[in-house]
Amino acid sequence: MIFKRSMVSELANSAGGVFTVLFTIVLAVGMVRILSLAAGGRIDSGMVLQMVLYNALTNLPPLLALSLFVAVLMTMMRWWQDNEMVVWFSSGGRSLFSWVGPVLRFALPLVVAVGVLSVVISPWARSQTEMTRNQFAQRDEVNKLAPGRFIESLGGKRVFFIESAGDNPNEFGRVFVSERTSRGESTVTADSGTVEVNAEGDRYIVLHNGRRYETVYDSPATRVVEFDDYGVRLDIKIDSHLESGKTSALPMTVLLAGMTPEQQGEIFWRFSWPIAALLLALFAIPLSATSPRAGRSLNVVIAALVFILYLNAISVMQTWIEQEKFNYFTGLIVLHGLVFLLCALFYIRRVYMMRWLPVWCDPWYWRRRSISNEEK
């Protein structure tokens, strides 16, 4: 009982430490990526912290699953290295299966948390991210223009640059506009610009005292036109994925009602993480078993391979489901069932000390046999 309580306490400390490190890394990477989007004018700079929070919530299921796996693995490996497992096994009829209970007692609340995050909270965070980007994309281009930075519009075909803002919110100083069409490119520079609305409600930025440089792709000549006033219509082009909505951002009720191949793939992805978290926690028990005299390197390498292959297998199975090779339920049974069988095989090998291959497959067996025959 003391061993089990000590195990649960150490697991909690290890999981907390591992999760803190991983979450900090993900938070920093997400912050850099979102700041670059804000600097490029693709999201509102006032929503950076909100977007970082949404990004962190979408990454919590795999982070918690990995933290649980690493915590169980490292904790039990330390117990093996410090001979504490030897004391446990010598206390009378104990085996590696005896640690399944304490590990499950610690892991099940985290597995439930992973399930809630994967099924409910992460899709909500993705939908909020998409909604925020959609709202910003639908703003007038005037509201997205800011002095001192380049702003893309029309899918990158038009670029605005405003050197300074005027006294009025609709006035700008030193405006640069570059636009690419199917025939060629044009560049417009002006001393100032104002935003105006015509009778039909269309918005224009009217440039004053400037020049327009036009080039045609099949001609080396450049046409230069000077103007007093020149209007550029401000059009809004929303990306198709913002209009239709991503499958990963849909709530579970919508996915279960639709059941298209893409939606089934998303259902599989969401249900896979709590199952994977549970299986990885159980898998870590036999993976941690090692001799106190041996190093940890081999166990760590095998554990890393198991996690990477498992993660890639989930992605591959999701792709197959989207290609209608499986439905989501069959995919869950096949993939996680195979992982469970592999985990059981590791338990059998560790508990009963069985060889992976027959003894005659070991080259050292024949070497020892040859030496023994020579001595005779």
How far is CA 198 from each of CA 143, 168, 234, rounded to the nearest angstrom? 18, 19, 12
Place of tokens 């009720």: 253
pTM exceeds cut of 0.75: no
Looking at the predicted structure, is the pLDDT value of residue 238 above 50?
Answer: no
Question: Among residues 126, 145, 142, 122, which one has the least CA distance to residue 134?
Answer: 126
Segment 182-195 mean pLDDT: 84
Provide the pLDDT for residue 264: 92
Looking at the predicted structure, is the pLDDT value of residue 371 above 60?
Answer: yes
Question: Among residues 157, 124, 144, 153, which one has the least CA distance to residue 237?
Answer: 153
pLDDT tens profile 67-85: 999 888 888 887 766 666 6
Looking at the predicted structure, is the pLDDT value of residue 56 above 80?
Answer: yes
d(CA 247, CA 269): 11
Higher pLDDT, 137 or 207: 207
Could you state, in order of their start, the residue ranges of all structural domains in the chain?
2-136+242-366, 141-237
Provide the pLDDT for residue 290: 67
Looking at the predicted structure, is the pLDDT value of residue 312 above 50?
Answer: yes
Provide the pLDDT for residue 271: 94
